[in-house]
Chains A and B, each alone.
Chain A
Amino acid sequence: MKRKVVRRVNLSAKVIILGIWLLFMIFPLYWMILTSLKPKNDIFQFPLEYLPEKISFENYANIFAISKFHVYIGNSLLVSLLSAFIVIVISILSSYVLARFTFRGSRQIMSGFFLTQMIPMFIGFGPLYSIMSQLNLLNKQGSLVLMYSVLLIPFCTLMLKGFFQRIPSSLEEAAMIDGCSRLGGLIRIILPVMKPGISATFIFAFVQNWNELFLAIMFIDREEAKTIPVAMNSFITKFDIDWGAMSAATVLSVIPTMILFALCQRLIVQGLTDGAVKG
């Protein structure tokens, strides 16, 4: 009898804690969406509205009217997709080798990749600026594609390595006995099995690129080349924060990553826990 009571108390404590945390997590996004849908005058009106009363899309129309938001979206998509793709191709090769072979220097390479996660990258920003200007890539999306690819190679290699290690090497060895080359075995036999891991890593890379701000601020100043975060950053000074426009921009810029995250949450989580920590 006592046990039953304890269990019931435990259960309700559990539900309360999980419920409070859920509210705390959801509310900020709800508030941003709500703000973005309020007509401009209602945003600064008291008392605050907690439920949508008049829904208006004027904030959304507004960001396209006052800025080239469609251009920024296009740039963000281009830069994020292209560099995620480059990262994946390069990281598949490196992580496959690191997962399957032990050779002189392989441990050092792993530590070298790991170390990049620990050094404050800002320290290299100045030199990177000079490199980009020498390559004539300043104010061009190419600078971001290049840097985003390079910066993600170490982490994506570690992440993919975790996935590779879960696939028995007997699989491609069998293919090699049947006359496949190593590369052929990797492409024809392993990659299809690795699809979940590869898509998780691709999405991870895409999200990272989509969200990056500071390199983009450094390299890009031309309207036509701005990515969404850079443009939003310039909203801050330009309009002394027009909160309607800002919240609409926030909602728009969050949608792609939210969809991807919702689709592949389990895989990404698995990739992070396998690759990064147990590596």
Chain B
Amino acid sequence: MNNTGVRKPRLSRTAAFILFCLLPALIPVLVLTYFPILKGIVMAFQNYSLFNLNDIRFIGFDNFRTVLQDPNLPTILKNTGLWVFISLILQFAIGFLLSLLLYRKFPGRGVYQGLIYYSWAMSGFLIGIIWRWMFNGQIGVINDLLLKAGLISERIGFLSDPKWAMFSVIVANIWYGVAFFAIMLTAAMQSIPEELFEAADMDGANGLQKMLHVIIPYILPTIITTTALRVIWIFNFPDIIYAMTNGGPANSTHILSTFMLDKIVFGGDYGLAGAVGVISIVLLLLYTLFYLFATKASKAGDF
């Protein structure tokens, strides 16, 4: 819409219609999403604690100093990296393999998909509860199965042993997240024009060649977009860890988002939480810039 036209009565009716439709969405989002986030960023520079609301003042970078000097921070950062990248790589690899097997119709495919996609309708919290029960050190079914299979000779404290805890929460996260990639990649593969496969057949391509030269190039934009998004989502996803270990034992499963949650919900220290949040945003921004640069934005889907 051009500016000069707005004055004409017919166009201004369109403008009024657009405003009428958009304002109910825009105003709440600005007031209850953007405003609190900006205010949270401001709080990162304040002494702002629920338990000491009479003493709110700007303290510069003190909160950041506190967070950066936290002796657990190196562990937390390392955990965040492991959590994000191992989850991502395995979710993607398994999701890709499944969608290769699923994108062509076969009898029972619909039912099969329903049964392997359902985890997506569940909450991270419940998934965490379920896996916490299965990974239980004494009575857990996973220990029982491994013992029966003769793979271990004594029970493993999956959630109580710092060596195993990260592995356990990542398994639960993979269980949850493969469906996302399977859904997205299957949809993308189904949109490949049949002619491309016919042409590949005529050139005598085998399965692997078809995958490398037809499927992957065609779905590359989807791969780039979904992996980019997924990194951010996994990064900001404390639910499973919260329910399974709540960061323990001995911080061995704390990631930045569970750490931030801990500072807010249980510590009531909005200043410190804000500082962790700002650090998270900076890391995510750096990642996004790097990703856009590495993959050249033009290839990614158009948001």
* Chain A neighbourhood of B139, CB < 8 A: 43-44, 48, 243
- With A114-B303, A127-B43, A214-B261 as contacts: A96 and B21 at CB distance below 8 Å: yes
**Is there a chain B Cβ closer than 8 Å to A153's Cβ?**
yes
Complex Cα gap A61–B170 (Å) = 34
Q: Which of B81-89, B108-116, B195-203 contacts its partner?
A: B108-116
User: Does the CB pair B14–A101 fall under 8 Å?
Assistant: yes
**Is there a chain A Cβ closer than 8 Å to B260's Cβ?**
yes
Complex Cα gap A91–B33 (Å) = 16
**Is there a chain A Cβ closer than 8 Å to B301's Cβ?**
yes
Q: Which of B126, B183, B257 has the most CB of A within 10 A?
A: B126
**Is there a chain A Cβ closer than 8 Å to B184's Cβ?**
yes
**Is there a chain A Cβ closer than 8 Å to B168's Cβ?**
no
Q: Which of A21-29, A52-60, A63-71 contacts its partner?
A: A21-29
- A230 to chain B minimum Cβ distance, whole angstroms, is 10
Q: Which of A113, A246, A265 has the most CB of B within 10 A?
A: A265
**Is there a chain B Cβ closer than 8 Å to A201's Cβ?**
no
- How would residues 98 to 139 of chain A score, 1 for a CB under 8 Å from any chain B CB and 0 otherwise? 100111100001111110111111111111110100000000
Complex Cα gap A214–B43 (Å) = 20
User: Mostly helix, strand, loop or mixed at chain A's interface?
Assistant: helix
Out of A91, A120, A253, A261, which one reaches B280, CB within 8 Å? A120
Out of A109, A119, A183, A243, which one reaches B17, CB within 8 Å? A183
Q: Which of B34-42, B67-75, B210-218 contacts its partner?
A: B34-42
User: Does the CB pair B35–A127 fall under 8 Å?
Assistant: yes
**Is there a chain A Cβ closer than 8 Å to B247's Cβ?**
no
- With A28-B175, A118-B232 as contacts: A101 and B33 at CB distance below 8 Å: no
* Chain B neighbourhood of A191, CB < 8 A: none
* Chain B neighbourhood of A109, CB < 8 A: 22, 26
User: Does the CB pair A94–B125 fall under 8 Å?
Assistant: no
User: Does the CB pair B25–A157 fall under 8 Å?
Assistant: yes
Complex Cα gap A96–B129 (Å) = 39
User: Does the CB pair A146–B129 fall under 8 Å?
Assistant: no
- A94 to chain B minimum Cβ distance, whole angstroms, is 4
Residue of A nearest to B120 (CB): A261
Out of B98, B265, B302, which one reaches A21, CB within 8 Å? B98
Out of B17, B28, B133, which one reaches A149, CB within 8 Å? B28
* Chain B neighbourhood of A182, CB < 8 A: 14, 17
* Chain B neighbourhood of A229, CB < 8 A: 123, 125-126
A-B pairs under 8 A by CB, number:
242
User: Mostly helix, strand, loop or mixed at chain B's interface?
Assistant: helix
User: Does the CB pair A269–B25 fall under 8 Å?
Assistant: no
User: Does the CB pair A127–B40 fall under 8 Å?
Assistant: yes
* Chain A neighbourhood of B32, CB < 8 A: 128, 131, 146-147, 150
- A32 to chain B minimum Cβ distance, whole angstroms, is 5
**Is there a chain A Cβ closer than 8 Å to B152's Cβ?**
no
**Is there a chain B Cβ closer than 8 Å to A93's Cβ?**
yes
- A52 to chain B minimum Cβ distance, whole angstroms, is 14
* Chain B neighbourhood of A111, CB < 8 A: 303
Residue of B nearest to A181 (CB): B17
* Chain A neighbourhood of B33, CB < 8 A: 116, 121, 124, 150-151, 154
Complex Cα gap A279–B94 (Å) = 25
**Is there a chain A Cβ closer than 8 Å to B156's Cβ?**
no
- How would residues 234 to 247 of chain B score, 1 for a CB under 8 Å from any chain A CB and 0 otherwise? 01101100000000
Q: State the 10 A-B residue pairs at the shortest beta-carbon distance, nearest first.
A: A124-B36, A211-B123, A126-B270, A123-B277, A94-B25, A93-B21, A123-B40, A127-B36, A273-B187, A261-B121
Given contacts A120-B235, A120-B284, A279-B302, list 14 more A-B pairs with CB under 8 A.
A17-B97, A18-B112, A22-B116, A90-B25, A103-B15, A120-B236, A123-B277, A124-B33, A127-B36, A131-B36, A214-B261, A247-B133, A258-B121, A261-B120
